[in-house]
Amino acid sequence: MKTRLVFLGPPGAGKGTQALLIAGKYSFSRIATGDILREAITRETALGRRAKDFMDNGALVPDDIVNEILREKIESTGNGYIIDGYPRTIPQADFLSGVASVDMAVYFDAPEDILVQRIVNRRVCPKCNAVYNTSENPPKTSGKCDRDGSDLVHRSDDVEEITRERIKTFWQKTAPLVDYYFRRGLLAKVSAGRTLEEVTAEIEQAINSS
Ligand code: AMP
């Protein structure tokens, strides 16, 4: 069974949703660099101040900043983990291979036209990072997290203009990692345009395949 995973894919492909589900089911840790950065911005730490402008504009935060975040997190993590939203550049992938093992990189392949739609309808829980979608995966009570009842928020970068920029950034900087992991025999591609349950089943099949 593969227990050390990275999730790759454009914004809106469903990485965060599936990372929470799969991590919960298999008791893996989940490391999401985007969540860590957002928390730093909320707490107005030095890290948050360095990251904010990049994130507000749909650009990537510089490699040295996210690499340090990753190194710290991975050191305190046990055997199974899902790294969600990292690596996002070839230098980050090279850094990761020096500090941790990867058994499989899951590439969320989704048709471009659904990404923007999914993102603008996305709502997240600021407390537990659960992800909802007002049309595909709504919370049981409108505007409230199913898990802890917190008020859901619409991320400030989940607006159409910035989302289009983030998708562009994905194709320029992150898409080369699909080939990077394919060449290393570590790539699993899932059809991320399907239903939440179908995508979960596809990932589980890949985790359990030899
Ligand atoms: P996410 O929550 O994964 O959608 O990430 C939100 C934003 O955080 C991205 O648009 C980037 O600005 C920043 N970010 C998250 N992870 C990384 C990373 N691995 N490298 C660079 N920037 C990142």
Q: Is residue 6 within a helix (H) or strand (E), and if so which, with residue range?
A: strand 4-8
Set 38, 73, 122, 123: catalytic member: 122
Q: What is the mean pLDDT of the chain?
A: 95
Cα 132 to ligand 1 centre (Å): 19
The rounded distance, in Å, linking the Cα atoms of 153 and 174 is 27
The residue whose C-alpha atom lies closest to atom 15 belonging to ligand 1 is 34
40-94, pLDDT tens digit by residue?
Answer: 999 999 999 999 999 999 999 999 999 999 999 998 888 899 999 999 999 999 9
Is the per-residue pLDDT at 205 higher than 90? Answer: yes
pLDDT value of residue 131: 92
Cβ neighbour number for residue 47 with a 10 Å cutoff:
18
Set 30, 38, 73, 88: catalytic member: 88
Structural domains in the chain?
4-113+175-205 (3.40.50.300)
10-42, pLDDT tens digit by residue?
Answer: 999 999 999 999 999 999 999 999 999 999 999
Confidence of residue 113 (pLDDT cuts 50, 70, 90): confident
Is the per-residue pLDDT at 210 higher than 80? Answer: no
Pocket probe mutation, ligand 1, options 31, 50, 55, max atoms within 8 Å of Cβ: 55
Residue 167 vs residues 56, 57, 180: alpha-carbon distances, Å = 14, 12, 19
Q: Please, is 66 exposed, middle or buried when counting C-beta atoms within 10 Å of its C-beta (0-12, 13-18, 19+)?
A: buried
The rounded distance, in Å, linking the Cα atoms of 199 and 204 is 9
Q: Is 15 a catalytic residue?
A: yes
What SS3 class is residue 37? helix
